[in-house]
Amino acid sequence: MSKNDHALLVQEPLHPVEGLLSDGRSITYYDDGPGHDRSAPDTRGLAPSVSGAQLRFDPLTRQPVLVAAHRQVRTTGSAAGDCPLCPSRPGRPTEIPADDYHVAVFGNRFSSLGGAVGGRTEVVCFSSDHERPVAELPAGRLATIGRAWADRTARLSLLPEVESVFVFENRGADVGATLAHPHGQIYAYPYLPPTQAAVLDSAREHRARTGGCLLCSVVEREAAGPRVVAGTDRFTAYVPEAARWPYEVHIAPRRCAGDLAALADDERDELMVLYGDVLRRFDRLFDDPTPYMACWHQAPVRHRDVLDHFYGQVFTIRRAADKLKFLASSESGAGAFINDVAPEAAAQRLREAARPLSARPGR
């Protein structure tokens, strides 16, 4: 998809309501439908938000590293009573000026990007309900989240310095979530992150050798194999053959689509229903909510001729009810992953997780 294609998508009637926070950051509300008042102003009188991030490069690995020391003072661990992502109340203004919202997107006050580095980071709040995780949201709200992700992807891809738009969610303190409120983030990088750069190289080699799309071949092979977890007519959820994490699922379209903005509305709604299904399966693996990371690996903005197929990735570092997968020396130092759970066994457990808890063996 070209930047002109993205511009056309931005003009769709998505019913977003845009505003500014008191320090100049933008905020956009995406509602499940029209007719909601989101005009309340931010009364906090914050000083302008300035990013002090630096971009450095490791000469040995030739990989970029962001240094963002100013983020040491960011807000952490807020309960519902003082959460900065809950709606504002009289006498307690928050990052969300409105007294209610469905989905809200705003610039991160403690951004890892921006300033001299370029790029942008945004926070995406999935619900005004502090206690309701994404897995328990109705299909209509999941569709709104997908619409917001697609619109932000399209808009951020238009920025001249942006090379890659990365959408993600961390859920649970075990995976580093600093706020309990259901939310995610979007990083618009001014460079290609190492994982995406590696996938691009693989896709380039595959296209030169076969003339086809690497992800298309992977999805076709996995869709016919033993690691499928769930699927729809247009999307497949599977455990990858060389999964690095104890429980890891990739969700991919069966056709080439460069990013979430490249999907038609009905396709994206179908994807979000499957995404909710996968999250619920993760939550049924253990007796308490499973900590997870959910990442959307979208095609690079300027390399769609080589890589034009996105995929989602959901994984947990929990390998058993009372055990976490720590990145030990092999993983952290050498980059050599060792998985404690066979991908085929993980896929079987995740397939079984569709059943009611009482129907599963061992409960």
Name the 3-class secondary structure at 312. Answer: strand
Angle of helix 194-210 versus helix 214-223 axis, rounded to 10: 90
Is 183 found in the same domain as 208? no
From the list 244, 249, 251, the residue with the least C-alpha distance to 342 is 244
Pairing, β 164-171 against β 183-189? antiparallel
Is 346 found in the same domain as 268? yes
How far is Cα 181 from Cα 128, in angstroms, rounded to an integer? 9
- Of 191, 207, 230, the last residue of a domain is 191
Helices (H), 60-213: 139-157, 194-210
- Of 191, 207, 222, the last residue of a domain is 191
Is 230 found in the same domain as 127? no
Is 231 found in the same domain as 171? no
Is 185 found in the same domain as 303? no
Is 296 found in the same domain as 264? yes
- Of 159, 191, 223, the last residue of a domain is 191
Catalytic residue among 6, 181, 183, 303: 183
Name the 3-class secondary structure at 70. Answer: helix
Is 204 found in the same domain as 241? yes
Is 213 found in the same domain as 176? no
Q: What is the CATH number of the domain that holds 227?
A: 3.30.428.10
Phi, psi of 153 (to 5 degrees): -60, -45
Range of the domain at 187: 3-191
One pLDDT digit (tens) per residue for the chain, 363 residues: 444 444 434 444 557 999 999 999 999 999 999 889 999 999 999 998 777 889 999 999 999 999 987 766 566 666 667 899 999 999 999 999 999 999 999 999 888 898 888 999 999 999 999 999 999 999 999 999 999 999 999 999 999 999 999 999 999 888 878 889 999 999 999 999 999 999 999 999 999 999 999 999 999 999 999 999 999 999 999 999 999 999 999 999 999 999 999 999 999 999 999 999 999 999 999 999 999 999 999 999 999 999 999 999 999 999 998 888 888 899 989 999 999 999 999 999 999 998 554 444 333
* Distances, alpha carbon 19 to alpha carbons 145, 149, 270, in Å: 19, 18, 30
For the entire predicted model, the pTM comes to 0.91
pLDDT tens per residue across span 164-222: 999 999 998 888 788 899 999 999 999 999 999 999 999 999 999 999 999 999 999 99
- Asked if 6 is an active-site residue, the reply is no
How far is Cα 190 from Cα 224, in angstroms, rounded to an integer? 37
If one counts the domains in the chain, the total is 2
Show the CA angle centred on residue 230, arms to residues 229 and 233, nearest 5°: 145
Is 282 found in the same domain as 352? yes
Is 152 found in the same domain as 53? yes
Is 244 found in the same domain as 150? no
Is 268 found in the same domain as 144? no
